Structure 1
């Protein structure tokens, strides 16, 4: 297992913190940022206060890291890997993948760099190919622009949640602080 993967998962678990049961949080009861529903999907039947760290780590690795193909993306950029991982955990893997696909489409110079992607939220070989082609053409500056654009999409996504559901406003400063400081 890569050092980057271990570090990013460990850092994420630390950011997420321990047990929380806020009745206004749409995720419900959580520990290490893992919701009770996700823990149950992985066969955990115990009290969420006692969710094993190792299970939380495994869930982050299988449900988020692997689905976002972050082993492949980490070969291209640690910063993009970190943004996409945190985005996938906080907003959903499909959301993170769709936003990356959208950005790659608008940055492909009218399909001269690579064909447009289907915005389906499934990060697969076509998305990885487009990312590789983008980086091959745009180099480090392009990669920096892409990472910041992903950060911008994350901010916009969180603002939209709070704008559309006033009960979520109490979380918006924390969400935005997390994204800006990542």
Structure 2
């Protein structure tokens, strides 16, 4: 439950967030090292810098964006080890708001997309093993639902491989034999799930 877990979590993330991709069916758009062009432009604007091609993003910029856009806003600093990685990986692939809602559902907190004191209390009190199982089940259900959207079925195998690797990494039983190397499935990368609009239901896809 501390910032020192971020480097190990980053290693897991970067295993799955490879190089530059620009697939018209990937709702994230132009993406490099898991950072979309839109996110990169927004971050550079906040620090007073002009837009820049995400294809040429620097490693220090990647680290700063993962920390400032995903790790901290998703509440990962406040979570126990293993749950922090699950939350971080979900925030990166599915958006911070959706990750918080999945977390709230998994711990039985009010689902509002805001990581407040009540969510923190529920996370502290939860049974970690049961929460991790429930958390990953919710995420699996969303992937299967999203794969039904036009052009998205080709990403399901990669999404599930990433999720099962996360399950192995956090020690859920029955997944010990899953290889540590990334298997992107039917595509050469893992597609990003669109961010959840404010107030939208968890399963919304657009």
Relative to the length of structure 2, the TM-score reads: 0.73
Runs ≥4 residues deviating over 3 A: none
Kindly provide the CA deviation profile for residues 95-152 of structure 1, in whole angstroms up to 9, marking residues without a partner as x.
11112212222xxxxxxxxxxx431111121100112123xxxxxxx21111111111
Structure with greater proportional helix content? 1
Secondary structure of 2:82 counterpart? helix
Superposed, 1:26-175 pairs within 5 Å as 26-43=27-44, 45-73=51-79, 76=80, 78-105=81-108, 117-134=109-126, 142-163=127-148, 165-175=149-159
Question: Aligned partners of 2:162, 2:83: CA distance in 1, in Å?
Answer: 15
Conservation of the 8 A alpha-carbon contact between 1:10 and 1:57: no
Unaligned runs of 5+ in 1: 106-116, 135-141
- On the 8 A contact 1:158/1:172 being kept in 2, the answer is yes
Unpaired runs of 5+ in structure 2?
45-49, 167-206
Give the greater-gyration-radius structure (CA): 1
Equivalent pairs counted in the alignment come to 160
- The TM-score with structure 1 as length reference comes to 0.82
Q: Which has the higher contact order (CA 8 A, sep 6+)?
A: 2
